Amino acid sequence: MALHGEVDILTAPTFACVLDVLFDAGRRDVVVDVGELDFVDASGLGVLGPMSCRLADGGGILTIRSPSPMVRRILDIAGMGDLIERGCPDPRSATLGPEQHSGDESKPVTGATNSTDGAVRLPAFPASNEVIDAALRLVTALARATIGGADGVSVSLNRHGQFITVAASDETIAQMDRDQYATGQGPCLSAAAEGHWFHVESLADESRWPQFVPRALEEGIASILSTPLIVSARPVGALNIYSNTDHAFGPLDQELAALFASQPPPIRQTHRNERP
């Protein structure tokens, strides 16, 4: 079977039902192709783990095929890396374009589009701001756990014409975002405004954002990676990853950040006359 889309708290029950049907039909060796899977959270892992045990008890095996770098990292952290198909290449080559203009901007994330014929298309659901914010808090926690060098992560969104932080791993990181809002400067705002990722390899050597950088240095922040959140081809916010170490984010970390940012929950655009 093949998965397409996301496996989260809303879609995991559908995934579980499909696996139950295969099990009840006598299938004991099940291959789940996740090449077109954009994201999996704890709910999806909660389906894979028990089913793997059920199949093993019956003399079978659950195999995960073609995971993306982000899905592979999540499986490894959850202790499920042994489910990945043997010989499946570790996709470490980044599809993220290099930064342009002396490290300012990036090209969009690119990648091959595979056929999804026969894929299990998990349903999409409308989401309120409360649901969106809860999902973004989960994205923040997963990004903090999976991206090497990350000491803190936040998500900034533009709501009602102003930026707010809807998820942050701790108060220091939330303050870093607020300092950018207060000064009107910083990689978070630049990424959200321009729709390109900004990678500050060393704040000590950074000449952009002169009002914000000293504040970040005072808090021990040494490098920042900000990646835009895109909805309907427009940037609406940014995923921000902070580190206390210079040059903390390598190519794989940048790719993982792009994958997290390219598959946010269904962010609902609001206007000034709407309630949040």
The domain segmentation of the chain, as residue ranges, is 2-121, 129-262
Whether residue 1 contacts residue 120, with contact meaning beta carbons closer than 8 Å, is answered with yes
How many Å apart are CA 258 and CA 264, to the nearest integer? 11
Out of 33-37, 256-260, 268-272, give the one with best mean pLDDT. 33-37
List the one residue out of 108, 229, 244, 117 whose CA is nearest residue 165: 229
Average pLDDT, the chain: 78
Least confident of 93-102, 127-136, 200-209: 93-102
The yes-or-no verdict on residue 122 having pLDDT over 60 is no
Please state whether beta strands 119-121 and 152-159 pair in parallel, antiparallel, or not at all (unpaired). Answer: unpaired
CATH superfamily of 129-262: GAF domain (3.30.450.40)
Residues 6+ apart with CB under 8 A from 215: 176, 179, 183
Half-sphere exposure of 51 (CA within 13 A, CB side): 28
> Which residues does residue 61 pair with via DSSP β-bridges, in sequence order?
29
* pLDDT number for residue 100: 39
How many Å apart are CA 16 and CA 65, to the nearest integer? 17
How many Å apart are CA 62 and CA 32, to the nearest integer? 8
2-121 adopts what CATH topology? Transcription Regulator spoIIAA (3.30.750)
CB neighbour burial string for 165-199, b if at least 16 within 10 angstroms, e if fewer: bbbbbeeebebbbebbbebebbbbbbbbeebbbbb
The predicted model scores a pTM of: 0.60
Mean pLDDT of 180-190: 94
The yes-or-no verdict on residue 244 having pLDDT over 70 is yes
